[in-house]
């Protein structure tokens, strides 16, 4: 039996002799490479926290003590050490989630995989337990240097530092990266800490000198104190944390398990908020991940573990279309600038950044700042394009509404991974953005149906100078181009019957245009007359959609956004306002959190397939 097979929970780990821990760490890394290469998942982050996670579970007593992982993509080792060794279905329907899951284990605390939230969670848990008189229970927050760039983390730090007796340990997992290298002032500060080794030695020298001096006069003491303070400012920038009121421990080698245990035990015994600064190497133990400058091993698909290369060659992606369009527009317009929140590579802005570095801003995990900064850039005479995942627009709604829309700022927001994203689960489905955008006055939203339309929509979006615009597209390989048979008032007609008598006007929004076309073909084969249209610009609802609805007996809208407040709701309201009395069928995502599964499985489960759409429409038509 391997060492890993003997671990069914933290108690087994604590009972393991310390000299066997390096072998356990090697087994865990080999297991992760073997298993994740078969299923896909977050490989690099987990390889980097093996010793750290072992030390956490040997020092603390989960679930009596709460361990909160920021973002949670580095929780695979935690899953293994808490008895979950079946990784065969990782991120697949019915298998282990790619993030912590309360349904899986009592050891999992926070399921939301949006970054920079762990310190607020930990503060609440620790303070709540103090109120309940449970002072023997510690709370640990594990946060990366990337997530520490988020403003919410600093709001939490500000409050945590004010509570001197809070049994809370903050572990900063510093690997110099989020997706890509961490940028900004905080990154520079942590880099200084990583390279600083002199302060503790200076304190030891000072203590030794004073203890061996029979009498230290005031002047000598003042001199020593002044020298100490000066050197501290130079070699001990941990003062940033200590000045807040946090005890600082570190930096600690994140791959030296005994040193980690010693630091964590010291922090646990302190009795108040402590920050333990741990230096780790992302991708540790797997050469391909360690040498990965483009960070392709942060999250991988199915790969050959020997070569690190994908087993399936993906086609051209939606992101590729956006990336090429941005570079082309950058050449044409000197006023075009790009902003992202620690996701330069995933959202396709790296080519633009290489070509126009002075016009590219990576603000770290700070979506709120990104949107308000964009409003400022627009005021200064530029046109900013803010590119983030669709799920992260939720975090910057107030800024989109009050800073961009209220001020009529010409800001374009490009949302990658919109709609159902699949294996990353509930927190990563980009299914709320069109409902959020729909309540913003003056906002324009485009949902391109294919790669050609991505280029068209982005080009048209950056031409809007007096209001915010949004362009959203899904994850994965780009769809085959769908040509319009004609255009009516800017709305593309994709298919229609020969007769003027239209039974159903079927509006396919974005990637759902293909689903709408196939559903219409099924109905047409049965003799039903269906016109399929793609508004491309879905918000505000085009007048042409209303006029085309007048000529139909029924209207249906298919979208991969939550039905409540989505494009279908907007179309329904537009028809009512225009006095068009026709039944409207809404096809979209239910108002619930959708579990991890493939995109196809999720769409099938919620009735967003051609067969399901055709069946419902057929029933409505009688």
Which has more confidence, 235 or 282? 282
DSSP letter assigned to residue 379? H
Nearest by Cα to 316 from 325, 303, 307, 305 = 325
Task: Measure the CA–CA gap between 117 and 251, rounded to whole angstroms.
Answer: 23
H-state helical runs in 195-343: 198-211, 218-235, 239-244, 257-270, 287-290, 318-332
Q: Is 115 annotated as a binding residue?
A: yes
In this predicted structure, the answer to whether residue 523 has a pLDDT above a threshold of 90 is yes
pTM for the structure as a whole: 0.82
Nearest by Cα to 296 from 477, 42, 91, 77 = 42
Task: Measure the CA–CA gap between 519 and 585, rounded to whole angstroms.
Answer: 14
Beta carbons of 444 and 467 less than 8 angstroms apart? yes
In this predicted structure, the answer to whether residue 407 has a pLDDT above a threshold of 80 is yes
Which pair of tokens denotes residue 11? 């108690």
Beta carbons of 559 and 588 less than 8 angstroms apart? yes
Helix and strand numbers, DSSP H then E, in the chain: 24, 18
Catalytic residue (one of 58, 137, 247, 282): 282
Q: Is 367 annotated as a binding residue?
A: yes
Q: What's the CATH architecture for 318-472? A: 3-Layer(aba) Sandwich (3.40)
Domain ranges of the chain: 4-196+237-290, 197-236, 318-472, 486-621
H or E element in which residue 588 lies: strand 584-589
| 367 a catalytic residue | yes
Confidence band, pLDDT 50/70/90 cuts, at residue 196: low
In this predicted structure, the answer to whether residue 100 has a pLDDT above a threshold of 90 is no
CATH superfamily, domain at 4-196+237-290: Thiamin diphosphate (ThDP)-binding fold, Pyr/PP domains (3.40.50.970)
Q: Is 112 annotated as a binding residue?
A: no
Catalytic residue (one of 367, 496, 503, 559): 367
Confidence band, pLDDT 50/70/90 cuts, at residue 115: confident
In this predicted structure, the answer to whether residue 8 has a pLDDT above a threshold of 70 is yes
Q: Is 123 annotated as a binding residue?
A: no
Q: Is 73 annotated as a binding residue?
A: yes
In this predicted structure, the answer to whether residue 52 has a pLDDT above a threshold of 80 is yes
Contacts for 315 with CB less than 8 Å, ≥ 6 apart: 477, 478
Task: Measure the CA–CA gap between 80 and 581, rounded to whole angstroms.
Answer: 58
Which pair of tokens denotes residue 188? 């520079």
Kindly report, residue by residue over 206-260, the tens digit of the pLDDT: 444 444 444 344 444 344 444 444 434 444 445 567 767 788 888 899 999 999 9
In this predicted structure, the answer to whether residue 563 has a pLDDT above a threshold of 60 is yes
Q: How many CA atoms lie within 13 A of 223 on its CB side?
A: 6
Give the mean model confidence (pLDDT) for residues 187-195: 58
Kindly report, residue by residue over 129-183, the tens digit of the pLDDT: 998 999 999 999 999 888 888 888 888 988 998 888 899 999 999 887 555 555 5
Q: What kind of fold does domain 486-621 have according to CATH?
A: Rossmann fold (3.40.50)
Helix 257-270 vs helix 21-39: angle between axes, to the nearest 10 degrees? 100
Catalytic residue (one of 247, 359, 395, 472): 395
Nearest by Cα to 561 from 474, 490, 460 = 474
Contacts for 262 with CB less than 8 Å, ≥ 6 apart: none
| 395 a catalytic residue | yes
Give the mean model confidence (pLDDT) for residues 28-44: 87
| 207 a catalytic residue | no
Beta carbons of 182 and 145 less than 8 angstroms apart? yes
Task: Measure the CA–CA gap between 155 and 181, rounded to whole angstroms.
Answer: 23
Q: Is 146 annotated as a binding residue?
A: yes
Q: Is 145 annotated as a binding residue?
A: yes
3-state SS, residue 208: helix
Percent of the chain predicted with pLDDT > 90: 60
DSSP letter assigned to residue 299? S
């Amino acid at each position: 039996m391997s060492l890993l097979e003997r671990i069914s929970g933290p108690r087994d780990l604590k009972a393991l002799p310390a000299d066997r821990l390096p072998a356990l760490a090697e087994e865990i890394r080999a297991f992760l490479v073997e298993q994740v290469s078969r299923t896909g998942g977050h490989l690099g982050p987990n390889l980097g926290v093996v010793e750290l996670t072992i030390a956490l579970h040997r020092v603390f007593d989960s679930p009596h003590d709460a361990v909160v992982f920021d973002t949670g993509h580095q929780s695979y080792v935690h899953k293994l050490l808490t008895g979950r060794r079946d990784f065969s279905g990782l991120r697949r329907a019915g298998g282990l989630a790619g993030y912590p899951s309360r349904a899986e284990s009592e050891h999992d605390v926070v399921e939301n995989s949006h970054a920079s939230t762990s310190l607020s969670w930990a503060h609440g848990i620790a303070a709540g337990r103090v109120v309940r008189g449970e002072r023997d229970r510690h709370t640990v927050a594990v946060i990366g240097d990337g997530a520490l760039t988020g403003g919410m983390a600093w709001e939490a730090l500000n409050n945590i530092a004010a509570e001197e007796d809070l049994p809370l340990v903050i572990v900063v997992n510093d690997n110099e990266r989020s997706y890509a290298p961490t940028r900004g002032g905080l990154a520079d500060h942590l880099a200084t800490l990583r390279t600083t080794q002199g302060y503790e030695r200076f304190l030891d020298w000072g203590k030794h000198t004073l203890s061996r001096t029979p009498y230290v006069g005031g002047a000598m003491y003042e001199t020593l104190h002044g020298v100490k303070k000066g050197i501290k400012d130079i070699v001990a920038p941990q003062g940033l944390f200590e000045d807040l009121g946090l005890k600082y421990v570190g930096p600690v080698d994140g791959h030296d398990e005994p040193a980690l245990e010693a630091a964590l035990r010291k922090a646990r015994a302190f009795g108040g908020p402590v920050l333990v600064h741990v230096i780790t190497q992302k991708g540790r133990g797997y050469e391909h991940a360690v040498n990965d400058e483009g960070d392709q091993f942060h999250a991988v698909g199915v790969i050959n573990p020997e070569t690190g290369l994908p087993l399936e060659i993906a086609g051209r992606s939606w992101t590729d279309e956006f990336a090429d369009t941005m570079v082309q527009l950058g050449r044409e317009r000197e006023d075009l600038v790009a902003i992202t929140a620690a996701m330069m590579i995933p959202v396709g802005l790296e080519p633009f950044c290489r070509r126009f570095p002075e016009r590219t801003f990576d603000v770290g995990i700070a979506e709120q700042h990104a949107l308000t900064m964009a409003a400022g850039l627009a005021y200064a005479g530029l046109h900013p394009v803010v590119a983030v995942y669709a799920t992260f627009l939720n975090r910057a709604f107030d800024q989109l509404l009050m800073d961009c829309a209220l001020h009529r700022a010409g800001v374009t927001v490009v949302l990658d991974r919109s709609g159902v994203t699949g294996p990353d689960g509930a927190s990563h489905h980009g299914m709320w953005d069109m409902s959020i955008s729909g309540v913003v006055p003056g906002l324009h939203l485009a949902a391109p149906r294919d790669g050609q339309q991505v280029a068209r929509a982005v080009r048209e979006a950056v031409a809007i100078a007096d209001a915010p615009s949004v362009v959203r597209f899904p994850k994965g390989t780009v769809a085959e181009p769908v040509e319009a048979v004609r255009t009516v008032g800017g709305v593309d007609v994709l298919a229609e019957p020969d007769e003027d008598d239209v039974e159903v006007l079927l509006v396919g929004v974005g990637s759902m245009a293909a689903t709408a076309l196939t559903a219409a073909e099924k109905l047409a084969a049965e003799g039903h007359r269906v016109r399929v249209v793609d508004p491309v610009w879905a918000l505000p609802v085009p007048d042409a959609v209303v006029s085309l609805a007048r000529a139909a007996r029924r209207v249906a809208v298919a979208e991969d956004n939550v039905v409540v407040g989505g494009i279908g709701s907007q179309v329904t309201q537009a028809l009512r306002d225009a006095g068009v009395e026709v039944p409207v069928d809404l096809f979209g995502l239910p108002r619930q959190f959708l579990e991890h599964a493939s995109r196809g499985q999720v769409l099938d489960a919620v009735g967003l397939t051609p067969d399901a759409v055709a069946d419902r429409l057929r029933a409505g038509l009688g």
